[in-house]
């Protein structure tokens, strides 16, 4: 099997759609030797900030001398971003080996499936309960982290928590960064419902840390923690501006990153019974943390700066708007905006468009993209003074803004990943691995196990 063939195999798993539930993941993990039972985890959920918090925790524990696995999603450019050890992406040869092994396990546990897409379509149409892309990748990561002798794994949920494939682990600490509106069609229409789904990662007696400030969401988390006899630590916003954070330089832009760091410190303290960490390691880890595509400022030329930020939901848009006002109060950027249609794109446009001198709207390279024309109508309404332009691609938007001094690219992590390739910040992959993020678009309805 070649690396291209391995990526193609993973890509074909998209035909099995998106599915909430743990049965397949437990079964596949058992066939793989239950590696999750031989590893220690910090499990991180939340609406926004969970990736940054994971990056901070990984950097802190690595600075303390641990061998740390990091599992996150989605990837921006290369599949290997999802599975890292000491911030080194999984090598292509290891991807090939693990895909070959997992393919054999799938043949043992489920009706044999061809990687041919037509076979995948037929299997999906019959409603077979075959493992999905994310379920397979989750077990791949577990197996890899075990083989790599990781001391600790920073383990990010995919979507939600209670029925997310990552929830087969028992961590040493659980984290819920915050609760905001996103993925309501999967997680529920209220903050309380969303919080209940994410609080499903809370395990009996395992410390739970949250930065949630919504009263209704916090009540749901408190109820879940009480039922599980899990000690709860609530990090308040004011703590992010108190020692040691008030004088601590963070390489990640945005005041919200101080809140993520405060949640990280509370997590380190809660997990100290397993891994006691010196303050020097905490400071060193935060000083060197790197998390691309989130308020990442790039000098494209001697005259142009580009700010990359996923800002993929309303909460993310609000954070980007706050950062633009804080760090660039006298500059109005040219805003390149592309959003997925299943997001609250009208509200995101209302938040971001007024801050721009002109707006270039582009499709996201995804089947779920919102049409630029629809975005344009909202942007013109909320910022009638800006020139609003529609372009057919991000590459065309780059040409349009080539002479602009300050450009902000936002609205989707998929768009940011494409920008990173065009800006040569990340090597383009010959397999177009960004398309692996499209697992949710298979022609199968999402299936839930258990009741809400």
| Pair of tokens at residue 303 | 């005259």
Residues 261 and 319 in one domain: no
Strands (E), 205-357: 208-210, 232-234, 296-299, 305-309, 334-337
* 279-315 pLDDT tens trace: 899 999 999 999 999 999 999 888 899 999 999 899 9
Answer whether residue 446 is part of any domain. no
| Co-location of 93 and 161 in the same domain | yes
Domain count, the chain: 2
Residue 436 is assigned to a structural domain of this protein: no
Looking at the structure, do residues 283 and 195 belong to the same domain, yes or no? yes
Do 317 and 269 share a structural domain? no
Domain residues for the domain of 120 are 3-292
- 244 lies in the same domain as 354: no
53 assigned to some structural domain: yes
Separation of CA 343 from chain center: 15
Based on the fold, state whether residues 316 and 220 are members of the same structural domain: no
238 in any annotated domain = yes
265 vs 167: CA distance, rounded Å: 23
Predicted TM-score (pTM) of this structure: 0.91
Do 240 and 385 lie in one domain? The reply is no
Q: Are 251 and 316 in a shared domain? A: no
Token pair 């090939």: residue: 96
**Coil/strand/helix, residue 111:** coil
Residues 258 and 344 both lie in one domain: no
Annotate 263-297 with three-state secondary structure: HHHHHHHHCCCCCCCCHHHHHHHHHCCCCCCCCEE
- 440 is a domain residue: no
Residues 34, 137 within the same domain: yes
Pairing verdict, β 83-85 and 68-71:
antiparallel
Residue 64 in contact with residue 275, Cβ under 8 Å? yes
Determine contact, residues 367/441, Cβ cutoff 8 Å.
yes
For residue 379, give the CATH number of its domain.
3.90.190.20
d(CA 370, CA 364): 7
Per-10-residue mean pLDDT, the chain, length 452? 94 81 95 98 95 97 98 95 97 97 90 51 55 95 98 96 96 96 81 95 98 95 98 94 80 92 96 95 94 93 92 93 95 96 94 97 93 95 96 96 96 94 80 76 41 30
Residues 254 and 345 both lie in one domain: no
pLDDT digits 0-9 by tens, 70-100: 999 999 999 999 999 999 999 999 999 999 9
In the block, tokens 């690595």 appear at 62
Indicate if 307 and 271 belong to the same structural domain.
no
Give the position of tokens 């945005």: 254
């Amino acid at each position: 099997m070649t690396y291209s063939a391995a990526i193609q195999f993973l890509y074909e798993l998209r035909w099995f759609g998106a599915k909430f539930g743990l049965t397949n993941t437990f079964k596949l993990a058992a066939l793989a030797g239950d590696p999750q039972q031989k590893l220690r985890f910090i499990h991180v959920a939340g609406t926004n900030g969970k990736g940054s918090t994971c990056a901070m925790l990984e950097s802190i524990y690595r600075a303390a001398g641990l061998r740390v696995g990091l599992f996150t999603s989605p990837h921006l450019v290369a599949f290997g971003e999802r599975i890292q050890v000491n911030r080194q992406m999984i090598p292509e040869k290891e991807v090939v080996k693990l895909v070959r092994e997992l393919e054999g396990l799938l043949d043992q546990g489920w009706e044999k499936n061809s990687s041919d897409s037509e076979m995948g379509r037929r299997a999906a149409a019959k409603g077979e309960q075959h493992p999905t892309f994310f379920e397979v990748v989750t077990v791949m990561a577990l197996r890899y982290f075990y083989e790599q002798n990781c001391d600790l794994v920073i383990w990010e949920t995919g979507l939600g928590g209670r029925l997310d494939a990552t929830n087969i682990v028992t961590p040493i600490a659980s984290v819920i960064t915050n609760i905001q509106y996103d993925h309501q069609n999967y997680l529920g229409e209220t903050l309380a419902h969303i919080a209940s789904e994410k609080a499903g990662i809370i395990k009996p007696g395992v410390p739970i840390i949250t930065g949630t400030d919504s009263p209704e969401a916090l009540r749901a988390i408190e109820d879940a923690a009480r039922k599980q006899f899990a000690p709860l630590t609530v990090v308040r916003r004011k703590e992010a501006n108190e020692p040691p954070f008030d004088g601590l330089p963070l390489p990640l832009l945005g005041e919200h990153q101080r809140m993520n760091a405060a949640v990280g410190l509370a997590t380190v303290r809660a997990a100290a019974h397993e891994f006691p960490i010196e303050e020097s390691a905490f400071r060193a880890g935060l000083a060197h943390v790197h998390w691309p595509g989130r308020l990442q400022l790039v000098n494209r030329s001697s005259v142009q700066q580009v700010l990359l930020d996923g800002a993929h939901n309303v909460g993310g848009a609000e954070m980007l708007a706050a950062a633009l006002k804080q760090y660039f109060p006298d500059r109005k950027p040219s805003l390149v905006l592309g959003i997925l249609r299943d997001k609250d794109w009208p509200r995101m446009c209302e938040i971001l468009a007024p801050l721009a001198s002109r707006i270039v709207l582009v499709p996201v390279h995804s089947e779920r993209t919102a049409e630029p024309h629809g975005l344009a109508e909202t942007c013109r309404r909320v910022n009638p003074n800006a020139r609003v332009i529609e372009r057919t691609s991000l590459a065309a938007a780059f040409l349009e803004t080539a002479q602009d001094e300050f450009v902000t690219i936002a609205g989707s992590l998929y768009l940011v990943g494409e920008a990173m390739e065009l800006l040569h910040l990340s090597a383009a992959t010959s397999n177009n691995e960004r398309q692996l993020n499209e697992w949710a678009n298979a022609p199968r309805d999402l299936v839930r196990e258990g009741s809400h």
